Amino acid sequence: MGQKKVLVKINPEGKYVVDIDKDIDINDLKPNTRVALRNDSYTLHKLLPTKVDPLVALMKVEAVPDSTYDMIGGLEKQVMEIKEVIELPIKHPELFESLGVAQPKGVLLYGPPGTGKTLLARAVAHHTDCTFIRVSGAELVQKYIGEGSRMVRELFVMAREAAPSIIFMDEIDSIGQSRGGGGGDSEVQRTMLELLNQLDGFEPAQNIKVIMATNRIDILDSALLRPGRIDRKIEFPIPMLRIVWQL
């Protein structure tokens, strides 16, 4: 493309002709080289390693967590709900098939910090003998264009290879905020769109379930919470409110 411009592919947007930073040697740019572009100008300013799995440092994978339902107190209603939407489809998929009902794909756990969301997600993975893959939404927000969406794709590849598996996405509001306000970080929006594509692209029968958690359900994009993506929302109130409610 000349001495100062190259053609790059950005997933999921397409191909762009971009400028090259003055510190980059054009001779170092080969086909399929991974590069970093500046968010503001799309200038190519850095060459990335060719064989890097960004998930290695970000994902916390457990073959089967050691948490159990017995460790959870005061969440009987929440335990019952997550059994219905996650455990039952994994253990007895034939029930859904016989009724002609689609299996749920995922569930959203919402409520203040420290109310047991992560513990319950680990417990259901334990009781279903599922690989537990945990990632924070904040970790998927990357400074390099296209890296966040790439990591989301690799996350679901990992889940398929480790099935039966549960993907636990904490702090989902970091990438799942409503897009209706205009503006916003374009890289966050790319990551969000890729997540929606992945949720639409896998079948529940593949033995992959998605559990998301947030402290701010009020700011989540309605597209993320659409049935067929997230099929159930489970509230986790603060402990004192649970006690008062039970009394």
Query: Using one digit for the tens of pLDDT, what is the confidence trace for 52-73?
Result: 455 555 677 777 788 999 998 8
**31 touches 212 (CB < 8 A):** no
C-alpha 201/C-alpha 12 separation (Å) is 14
In this prediction the pTM is: 0.75
Domain of 20 in residue numbering reads as 5-47
Top pLDDT among 244 and 188 is at 188
Give CA angle at 119 (118, 120), nearest 5°.
Answer: 90
Q: Give the chain's largest Cα–Cα span.
A: 74
C-alpha 165/C-alpha 162 separation (Å) is 6
Domain harbouring 141, CATH code = 3.40.50.300
**238 touches 111 (CB < 8 A):** yes
Q: Are residues 105 and 21 in the same domain?
A: no
Q: State percent of the chain over pLDDT 70.
A: 85
Residue 197 has pLDDT above 60, yes or no: yes
Q: Are residues 74 and 100 in the same domain?
A: yes
Total of domains in the chain = 2
Structure tokens at 48: 């990335």
Q: Are residues 29 and 142 in the same domain?
A: no
Dihedral (C-alpha) 209, 150, 175, 116: value to the nearest 10 degrees?
40
Top pLDDT among 208 and 145 is at 208
Q: Are residues 98 and 33 in the same domain?
A: no
Q: Are residues 29 and 65 in the same domain?
A: no
Q: What is the mean pLDDT of residues 33-48?
A: 81
Q: What is the mean pLDDT of residues 209-221?
A: 95
Q: Are residues 79 and 180 in the same domain?
A: yes
Q: Are residues 225 and 176 in the same domain?
A: yes
Q: Are residues 42 and 66 in the same domain?
A: no
Cis peptide leading into residue 12 (ω within 30°): yes
Q: Are residues 37 and 98 in the same domain?
A: no
Q: What is the pLDDT of residue 116?
A: 93
Q: Which of 139, 136, 135, 142 is nearest to 186 (CA)?
A: 142
Q: Are residues 86 and 197 in the same domain?
A: yes
Q: Are residues 231 and 187 in the same domain?
A: yes
What are the tens digits of pLDDT across the range 77-86?
Answer: 999 999 999 9
Q: Are residues 39 and 87 in the same domain?
A: no
C-alpha 140/C-alpha 143 separation (Å) is 10
Work out the burial of residue 161: count CB atoms within 10 Å of its CB; fewer than 13 is exposed, 13-18 middle, 19 or more buried. exposed
Q: What is the mean pLDDT of residues 113-122?
A: 93
